[in-house]
Structure 1
Amino acid sequence: MKNIINVAQLAKRFGTTDVLNGIDLTIQEGEVFGFIGHNGAGKSTFINMLTGIINKSSGSFEIIGTSDQQLDDVKAKIGVMPDISNLYDHMKGIQFLRYMGKLAGDTRTKQDYIALMKDIGLEGAEKKKIKAYSFGMKKKISIAQALLGNPSLIILDEPTSGLDPESAINIRKLIVDLQQQGKTILLTSHNLDEIDKISDRVGILSDGKVKKLGTPDELKNNTSSELSVAIRTNPTLTSQKLAELSANWDFNVQFVTTKKKYVVVNVPHDNDIAKLSKELIHSGFQLFELRMEQQSLEDVFINSK
């Protein structure tokens, strides 16, 4: 499978601040690539460089076989979800899409535009002015704009943030449909469960670099050589109590997080699980449940900072 995006040592500096510090990355044709990072990690800066909104400081990239020096040659093949502040509030929804479609060389009929608005969850809002749209509706029409002109690469920045659960599910289905049509999607989101469900590969951006890269399963299975164990006890085991007790144990145990009635810890080896169970009971805890726990993408993300 060929790469639709190739990035080599891409960097961006604002003044004395390095926002991106030598990114190496490839995105394959036809995949949904999830790009995640904390606020301020540089995701939007990365997208803005790929789309020519801001200039790079150093490094290089290619999109659809074209170098960043000739980016204008392929912009028509890239669909970008705009910020909702850039929408034309005085226009009606259908009017706005037809106008932007004309600029993008889109050949849809009026009925096609109506069908598009239905697909993204704006049925019945075609003749309503955008200024009367809710935040979620504005996000949806921004997604529709990114699809105009039949682009081969679609960049969606936080497409489901602010949407109700049903609308978010519909947008995820739309992304899957677009991929089945042969589109490549670069997706950013703070909803890590969403990224896990629909991404073929995921890149985690931290400290200006891509710290982890792989399929969701690869990231969850290969993040640590240690074993994660979920424990339910009475009384509930706290991180402070665990630190106090484990100081006297002959094996290592590390507190990870709490999940409802469970505490999650890491131990180095299989036989340490039996030791942990024995020590907790010996310390007066009632042990109701102890099970192996696969790391979530959220765990991977937290450990990548």
Structure 2
Amino acid sequence: MNVIEVNNLSKTYGKNNVVKNVNLVVKKGEIYGFLGRNGAGKSTFINMITGIINPSAGSFTLLNEPNLQNVKRRIGVLPDYSTFYDSLTAIGHLKYFTGIHGRSISTAECKWVLQRVGLSEHANKRAGKFSFGMKKKLGIAQAIAHNPELIFLDEPTSGIDAESALMIQKLMLELKEAGKTIFMTSHNLNEIEKICTRLAIMRDGVIINEGTLDELRAHYLSAITVQIKHSPFSSKQNEVIPFLQSIGKEIITKDNKTTLTLDTEEKIPVIIRAMMNLKINVYRINVDEPSLEEIFLDHRNQGTVTKENTLSNTISKLKMSI
């Protein structure tokens, strides 16, 4: 089931195209990560599909409902900014905002939600005395207190300490296990890598790449470092080394381990077959994969991931070859 469907969504301010013809689908139960530098258009995109600002063009549906007013009680939102009433306590905020969503919440329920975001000790403290990080946690509690099906979180762990960030990440995984769908932006690439099922990278208002992390890795692989552990081939070195030089580069052999650089993973089964034909046993193969940070910062290739260019397909070909 698709819970978010976006078709050619755009936002223009004067001559400035902030979001440009974005198409996107998010399925039920996903944690979908939305990456991009400051000014890429991420917050503008979230603000459009949550009804904070109006799009200039295009359309979207949430929870299979084209009328946003009909689903507002079924979604939760942590925007890129949160407004709090200084005189209200944390419990007071949750009761007030769940009331806006048409639901009554008990004090015990409020305390349970606040405990999940690490604010149990501050349940009766007024928001005016909260730090920036505490307000961020209160905003997350506010977004989930009415038990929404779809949750939008704009930089949920920005400005909070590492221990609290881990708590929020755990909470998001628990919400996913409970059947919730989460759409989140983050500058924390490690966080996205750990918890997101799929992600998109936005640059200058355009989604330049989208897919699972494995798919994005496969798309950006241009130089693969492969380490092969094998049986000794000293007697066949005159055959093995010229072959490896023909298929790769930067070849280093030491202690029954060979490291080399390839331009595609599809050459790995070719190496395995050649070694087997030479009666050289292959015990283990390690492939260095790019980190999400390397993918995010890569400006060389801005195409679209295709199904034929996924890491899973490459691995399938490797298994079939051996």
Normalising by structure 2, we get a TM-score of: 0.73
SS in structure 2 of the partner of residue 66 of structure 1: coil
Aligned to 1:35: 34
Residues in 2 aligned to 1:228 and 1:208: alpha-carbon distance in whole angstroms: 33
- Aligned residues of 2:29 and 2:176 also touching (Cα < 8 A): yes
| C-alpha distance 82-225 of structure 1, shift in aligned 2 (>3 A) | closer
Identity %, equivalent residues:
44
Aligned to 1:226: 223
Aligned to 1:63: 62
Deviating beyond 6 angstroms after TM superposition, the runs of 4 or more aligned structure 1 residues are none
Q: Which amino acid aligns with 1:62?
A: T
- The structure 1 residue matched to 2:291, chosen from 278, 290, 296, is 296
User: How far apart are 1:26 and its partner, in Å?
Assistant: 0.3
Residues in 2 aligned to 1:209 and 1:228: alpha-carbon distance in whole angstroms: 31
Aligned to 1:235: none
The 5 A counterparts of 1:69-148 are 70-148=67-145
User: How far apart are 1:221 and its partner, in Å?
Assistant: 2.7
Residues in 2 aligned to 1:183 and 1:172: alpha-carbon distance in whole angstroms: 14
Residues in 1 aligned to 2:264 and 2:211: alpha-carbon distance in whole angstroms: 25
- Aligned residues of 2:154 and 2:184 also touching (Cα < 8 A): yes
**RMSD of aligned Cα (Å):** 2.4
Residues in 2 aligned to 1:26 and 1:84: alpha-carbon distance in whole angstroms: 25
Normalising by structure 1, we get a TM-score of: 0.77
- The structure 2 residue matched to 1:207, chosen from 204, 207, 212, is 204
Aligned to 1:170: 167
- Aligned residues of 1:84 and 1:142 also touching (Cα < 8 A): no
- Aligned residues of 1:31 and 1:179 also touching (Cα < 8 A): yes
Deviation by residue 1:223-282 (Cα, 9 ceiling, x = unmatched) = 23432589xxxxxxxxxxxxxxxxxxxx999xxxxxxxxxxxx86369xxxxxxxxxxxx
Q: Which amino acid aligns with 1:224?
A: L
Gap regions ≥5 residues in structure 1: 231-250, 254-265, 271-290
- Aligned residues of 1:226 and 1:268 also touching (Cα < 8 A): yes
Q: Which amino acid aligns with 2:177?
A: Q
- Aligned residues of 2:43 and 2:80 also touching (Cα < 8 A): no
Aligned to 1:11: 10
Residues in 2 aligned to 1:57 and 1:108: alpha-carbon distance in whole angstroms: 37
- The structure 1 residue matched to 2:184, chosen from 187, 190, 203, is 187
User: How far apart are 1:52 and its partner, in Å?
Assistant: 1.3
SS in structure 2 of the partner of residue 6 of structure 1: strand
Q: Which amino acid aligns with 2:289?
A: Q
Gap regions ≥5 residues in structure 2: 228-246, 250-260, 266-285, 303-322
The answer to which of 167-176 and 107-116 deviates more is 107-116
- Aligned residues of 1:106 and 1:150 also touching (Cα < 8 A): no
Corresponding residue pairs, total: 253
**CA radius of gyration, larger in:** 2
Deviation by residue 1:186-227 (Cα, 9 ceiling, x = unmatched) = 011000110010000011111221111111122123323432
Residues in 2 aligned to 1:228 and 1:63: alpha-carbon distance in whole angstroms: 43
User: How far apart are 1:100 and its partner, in Å?
Assistant: 1.3
Residues in 2 aligned to 1:86 and 1:164: alpha-carbon distance in whole angstroms: 21
SS in structure 2 of the partner of residue 121 of structure 1: coil
SS in structure 1 of the partner of residue 85 of structure 2: coil
| C-alpha distance 113-49 of structure 1, shift in aligned 2 (>3 A) | same
Residues in 2 aligned to 1:42 and 1:83: alpha-carbon distance in whole angstroms: 12
- Aligned residues of 1:84 and 1:138 also touching (Cα < 8 A): no
